[in-house]
Each structure stands twice: as structure tokens, then as C-alpha cells.
Structure 1
Amino acid sequence: MALKTKGKQSEAAEPASGPPTLKSIAFMTGYSITTVSRALKDAPDIGEEAKKRVRLVAKQIGYRPNRAGVRLRTGKTNVISLVLNTQEEVMGLTSQMVLGISDVLRGTPYHLVVTPYSLENDSMEPMRYIVETGSADGVILSRIEMQDRRVRYLSEHGMPFATHGRTDMGIDHPWHDFDNERFGHDAANMLAERGVKRATLIGPPDNLTYARHMKTGFATGLREHGMQQVALDTVTVDDTLDTIQAGVYEIMRGPGRPDGIVCGSGGAAIAASAGVEQAGLSLGRDVQLVSKQHTNILKRFRKDIDVINEDVRQGGRDLATCVIRSIEGVPADELHFLSYPDDPAEMPGVPLALPKVAV
């Protein structure tokens, strides 16, 4: 039941102008400041009617808790830090991940802060800063390596975190991952169905865990269909579009050129298409191309590109769920999520809702 407020109106006298405060809500609802505070914290001794009224008024006037005060009282920042390098692929990965994380954080006390770093700098710097300053309650990481120093550091310092990708270092931790091994295998199958005999892969750098997964699946698919793998070791999906285009142009002008390409990102697919056409070849006739994409764009660019969608927004949702539950003390082995489209062979180029399965 709601606490009585009679006789406490002096505590909730009309507030001075400025940002909305607990006093502002108390004045507008007629409740005491103590009741308002406890209602916003979902205290069990506050009635549901009072909670709804307080929350509605707080939302209408744009009330936000004072972060410094919250930290002094609870030792928490209510911040989740998303650590991203400043050169993440522009084809929708970063924005879609942020949207997914925001979907989950909405309605919780947590808000998102993006902590950027450059690939040229030490990736441990943002980790040390967050831990040493206590500037976040949890961390979300991308670009995960098999032996990732950041994962070990956060684990050793007891910082809740979740990773976009898996490690292979004997440390159990929360993660969401796209099944890149299955992607590589299915992409090879799609090339085989189009009669491809020689195929190449433009994948991620070898230091990233998902490179191993993607290459394993691709090689398995080629073996199953008796296709030859043509090495293209000069470029990765991390390279500039100009570099990828030049690399594809060179291999298409050489002897034993591939007649099929698998790209690990939408940006790489656009650059590879340009390299194929620069070499005087036709996409869909001389060269077949299968690519992963994070946004519905490749079919609009070239209808002959076959696509497999990675729902990065769903990945963001999973990662936010993982890190919040980790903060709450849920064991890491209950926070593993692997996603993949239901039917990668039947994709018109529209984003699909990916099923997520606990692993």
C-alpha cells in the first residue's frame, strides 16, 4: 500500500527552477520525497498505484537520477560501457549493435556509454581506464581474439562483461556470437549450387576468433563439393575498400582466377564487386559472390550477390542481457548465445529475426 503523505507537504514544497528532482515529483504527485524515492526504486511497501503515478510524472517531466548521488549511495554507476574501435565497419554493425543494446537498457537504470579506441593503440588502455576509475558497472567488447588479454584482465579484476565473439583460453565468460563456421560452410554450398569450381574467401584477420570459425566452415564446404580454394592472402575485411578492390582485381587478372568469392562483410562485397568489374568480368555470370551483411543493402547494390544476414541488433540485445545478468550474479555458463538465420539459402536481402540458442 502507498505510504501516507499527510502532514509532510512541507517536505515537498514547490521546487526551485532547474533540472527535475525528487522534490519536483513530490510536489506534482502530493507524495513525500521519501515515498517518491522508494517508488522509483520499486520498493515492495509502496503500492502499485503510487508507483505508476510517480513513474508517469517522472517520465513526463524528464526526471533523471543524479549519477553522482547514486554512486555515493550504492557504489554503482548505472553505466554499461561498449568498447569499440574507431574503425568498425561502416555497413551497419556499430549502429545496429547500439540499437540492440539500447532496446534492452530501455526501462532499466542502466545507460550506454561508448568507449572508443584505435587499432593503432593498445586495446588494454580502455580496459584499465574503466576498471581503475570504476566508470562502469559492466563492459561489452567486440573484436574478440582466441587468447584475448582484455578478457583475462576483466575476469581477474571481477568486472562483469560480455563479448561479441568467443575465446579459446579456458576462461568461461558471457558471450553472444554469430555462427561463422556455419556461414562459411553455407556460403560454399551456395557457390557449389551455382557451379563454381574455384573459390576464394575475403575473411577477417587471423588474430580474431571468428576468422578461424569462418575459414574452417568454408574449407569444409569446399572439400565436400570438390571445389578448389584460391588463396587471397593480401586482403581482409578490415582493409580499406580501395585495398580490397585492388586485391580482387589482381587475382581476377591472374591465371587460375576464382569463379566464386565469399565475403565476410558487406563492405568487402561492394569492394570485391568493383574489383571483378574492373577486371572486365561480370558478377553473376563470370563470378559468383556470396556475402554476409548486417543491413539490407547488397541486393540493392547488385542483385546477383547472394546474402546471408547477421542480425547484429539481436546480438546487441543478447550482449546487453548478458552483461546485466552477469552484474546480477548469473553464472557465465548460462549466458552463452549463438545465432544464425533459419534458412540462409532463401534470403531476399531483408533482415531476419534470428533465433538465439543457449549453448
Structure 2
Amino acid sequence: MSDKLSDDEAAGAPVKPTLKTIAELSGLAVPTVSRALNDAPDIGVRTKKLVREIADRIGYVPNRAGLRLRTGRTQVISLVISTEHEIMNHTARMISSIAGGLRGSQFHLNVTPYFPDEDPMKPVRYIVANRLADAVILNQTQPEDPRVAYLLEQGFPFATHGRTVWCDRHAYFDFDNEAYGRLAAERLIARGRRHITLLAPPLDQAYAQHMIAGATAAAEEVGAQLTVIEEASTNSPHEQIIDVITAHVRANRDTDGIVSSSASGAMAAVAALEAEGLRLGEDMDVCGKESLPILTLFRPQMIAIEEKVWEAGDFLARAAMQAILHPAKPPLQGLDIPTR
């Protein structure tokens, strides 16, 4: 392999690196370089690493317009994500983990946001109709999600963060929210709590129904009472959560435990309880789900259960790539089951 650059490059002339440039520097054939950059399975790991290192060093950027004409692919995977506040608390971590899962592959991540007052079908239709990506990743799935139905009908590669009624037919990664609901209720019950309130995700979401089912089952087994908040969700503004929890506790003085589907919702609940003069760990216990170890730093008395958002993003990246490159294979499916 030669590390010498051309005379024009040495002189500082604006020469755009090409596959031929990489081939000359690596001592490989141009087709081999091309296949290495496209992560072809018949190219060895060391060869791929060498080619990518040279490509990065010389600033090689593939001609995506030409690539699309030749292959029909964009080498883009689009994460379609809502801008709702609670979802946005996970956004940076999810983007980072998906990007990490794509690192070293031929694919790049594009983020397509949509606002709560917009039709969530709009960005998905736009991507598919204009072939702006090779696959999409969705979150906040509903049991009969119209986006999933549309993508299945179109035969367009995708993966979801969450399950649907058609999840046997598509790639997904999900946190087992039914197990979380059960475990959270059991942790509160173990502390002697028998009048538990659940601050859930939006009730039309599949994972909200899973969480309610798990918490309800745990409460029924010991004769405890479970109440689901309907006036707010963990996607609501914190001020609304505080107001709703405050009103609920005032109207239901026997409430002694709260389960939240998010860390921020749990912290808002604690703020409401403390403003009412209730003592955490004595008068009331609160359990929350977190992707970062923050709840017990905020209040040591809190019960925290981990959700592995990093693992989810990495898995979804691999699931989306398989859906593109190996559509005949069974879809990748994963489940994060929380433990004590």
C-alpha cells in the first residue's frame, strides 16, 4: 500500500477523492474498494477497516446521486420522531444509539421530526413517495398503527420502537412495559402501599396498555387498588402533571404510591407531593422508569427501574439494515425485560 498522495493533492489543489484514489492508496482494485465501502459480506473485516480508514483520511464522500442511479438506494435510514416534550427527553440518547449502530456501515441517519398537531402519517408518506430513505424507524406506536399498516402495504423496510398487533410481521425493539408495570407495582406493594396511582404514557399508545395490564395484575393479586390518571400523561407538560397529581391526591387522601412511565413524570409527581407536605418514603412512595441514573440522585427514597435506551437504538439500527439488505430473512425482534 502506498501512502503518497498525488502531485495535485500534495500541492494543495482541490482534488476530489474518488474510489480510484482509495484503490491507489490501498493497493486494491476499484470494485473491491466499492464493495468494502458498501459492507459487502464477501469482503473481509480487515479490508473494510483499511478502506474506511483511508476514505476518512482523504475525505472521500460518495456521490449519492450517482449511487442512487446505480443501486436505487439512498444509504439513508430515517428516524421519524415526535417533538413532544417527554419523547424529546429520550431523543438525544436514541439518536446517538442509532447512529452508533450504523457507524462503520454504508448507512447514514436522517432525523425527520413531526409536531404533535401534525398527522404522523405525513412524514412517512413523504419519505416513501419520494424514496428519501431506504428504511424508516418509528416510535410511539399504536396497537393498530396506520403508519405500520401503510409501510407493510408498501413493502417498505422499517423497524419500530414498540410493538403493534402486526409485530410478527415486522422488525421491532420494545421495552417490556407490562413487566415494568407489574414490577413497579410490586415494588410499591413490598413497601406496604395499597392505593397506587399510575401516571401512564398517552393511553392510545400500545405501551400504555401493556403497562396498565401489568400494574393491574400485580395489584389484583394482593387486593390493592390501582387508579390510572386520565387527565394527563407522561408526555404532558410538567406543570400539567403537577396540577393533576395535586388534584388527585387532594381528592384521594388514601393514595400512598405512584408509578410513572418516565423519570420526568416521576420527578413532577414528587414535586406535587412535597408541595402538599407529604414525605417521600414515609407518606408516599414513587417509582419511575429511567434511561439515565437520575431518580435516586434526585431523591434517594425513590424507586428507579432502568430502561436500556442505548440498547434499543443499536438494535433498531441493525434491524433496519437487515430489513434493507436481507428482506427475505425473518425480521429482527428484541425485548428489554426489566429486572429488580
Quick check: 1:315 aligned with 2:312? yes
In 2, Cα distance between the equivalents of 1:194 and 1:44? 54
**Alignment partners' CA distance in 2, 1:183 and 1:98:** 24
Number of aligned positions between the proteins: 334
Letter matched to residue 297 of structure 2: R
Cα pair 2:8 2:15 within 8 Å, conserved = no
Tell me which amino acid in the other structure corresponds to 2:77. Answer: I
User: Secondary structure of 1:304's partner?
Assistant: coil
**Matching residue of 2:14:** 17
**Residues 54-76 of structure 1: CA deviation (Å, up to 9, x unaligned):** 43321222322111111111110
Who is 2:266 aligned against?
269
Report the counterpart of residue 348 of structure 1 in structure 2. none
Q: 3-state DSSP class of the match of 2:144?
A: coil
Q: Which residue matches 2:225? A: 228
- Residues 86-101 of structure 1: matches in 2 within 5 Å? 86-89=83-86, 92-101=89-98
Change (3 A) 1:105 1:291: same
Once the two structures are superposed, what CA deviation does each residue of 1:46-105 show, in whole Å capped at 9, x if it has no partner?
898876654332122232211111111111000000000112526742122122212221
Q: Give the match for residue 123 of structure 1.
A: 120
**Cα shift at 1:224:** 1.2
Q: Deviations over 1:256-309 (max 9, x none)?
A: 341000000011011100000111111111110111111111111111110110
| Cα contact 2:174–2:336 (8 A) shared by 1 | yes
Q: Which amino acid aligns with 1:64?
A: V
Is residue 113 of structure 1 aligned with residue 117 of structure 2?
Answer: no
SS at match of 1:337: strand
Residue 82 of structure 2 is matched in structure 1 by 85
Of 73-82 and 61-70, more deviation after overlay is shown by: 61-70
Q: CA deviation at 1:247?
A: 0.9
Partner-residue secondary structure (3-state), 1:236: coil
Larger mean Cα displacement after TM superposition, 189-198 or 161-170: 161-170
**Residue of structure 2 equivalent to 1:63:** 60
Separation (CA, whole Å) in 2 of partners of 1:323 and 1:48 = 21
Q: 1:197 aligns with which of 194, 198, 201?
A: 194
Classify 1:158/1:234 alpha carbon distance in 2 versus 1 (closer, same or farther; 3 Å). same
Distance 1:212 1:333, change over 3 A: farther
**Are the aligned partners of 1:251 and 1:257 in contact in 2 as well (CA < 8 Å)?**
no
Cα distance in 2 between the residues matched to 1:114 and 1:17: 31
Choose from 191, 194, 211 the match for 2:208. 211
| 8 Å Cα contact 1:98/1:313 also seen in 2 | no
3-state SS of the aligned residue for 2:140?
coil
1: distance between equivalents of 2:320 and 2:314?
Answer: 10
What is the Cα deviation at residue 22 of structure 1? 2.7
Q: Which amino acid aligns with 1:244?
A: I
1:260 maps to what in 2?
A: 257
Supply the AA of the counterpart residue of 1:196.
R
Q: Distance in 2 between matches of 1:55 and 1:231?
A: 52
1:168-183 matched pairs, under 5 angstroms:
168-169=165-166, 172-183=169-180
Higher relative contact order (CA 8 A, sep 6+): 2
Aligned Cα root-mean-square deviation (Å): 2.7
Aligned-pair identity in percent equals 43
Q: Supply the distance in 2 between the matched residues of 1:50 and 1:198 (Cα, whole angstroms).
A: 61
1:279 aligns with 2:276: yes
| TM-score for the superposition, normalised by structure 1 | 0.85
Q: Secondary structure at the match of 2:258?
A: strand
Rounded to whole Å, the distance in 2 between the matches of 1:49 and 1:279 is: 62
Residue 213 of structure 1 aligns with an amino acid whose one-letter code is H
CA change 1:143–1:55 in 2 (3 A) is: closer
- 2:151 is matched with 154
Q: Whole-Å Cα distance in 1 between the matches of residues 194 and 105 of structure 2? A: 52
Listed as ranges, the gaps of 5+ residues in structure 1 are 6-11, 345-359
Matched-pair contact (CA < 8 Å) for 2:322–2:331? no
The TM-score, its normalising length taken from structure 2, stands at 0.89
- Paired AA for residue 73 in structure 2: K
Q: Flag the 1:267–1:91 CA change in 2: closer, same or farther, 3 A.
A: farther
- Equivalent position SS for 2:86: coil
Deviations, residues 181-236 of structure 1 (Å, cap 9, x unaligned): 01011111101111112110000111100111000000011111221123432111
Of residues 137-146 and 248-257 in structure 1, the stretch that sits farther from structure 2 once superposed is: 248-257
CA distance in 1: counterparts of 2:215 and 2:32, whole angstroms: 60
Residue 166 (structure 1) shift: 0.8
Q: d(CA) in 1 for partners of 2:315 and 2:294?
A: 24
**Amino acid of the structure 2 residue aligned with 1:237:** T
Bigger mean CA deviation after superposition, 20-29 or 249-258: 20-29
> Does residue 247 of structure 1 match 2:244?
yes
1 CA distance for matches of 2:46 and 2:245? 64
- 2:157/2:320 contact within 8 Å kept: yes
> Hey, what's the Cα distance between the residues in 1 that align with 2:23 and 2:140?
47
C-alpha distance in structure 2 between counterparts of 1:312 and 1:45, whole Å:
32
CA contact (8 A) 1:185 1:217 kept: yes
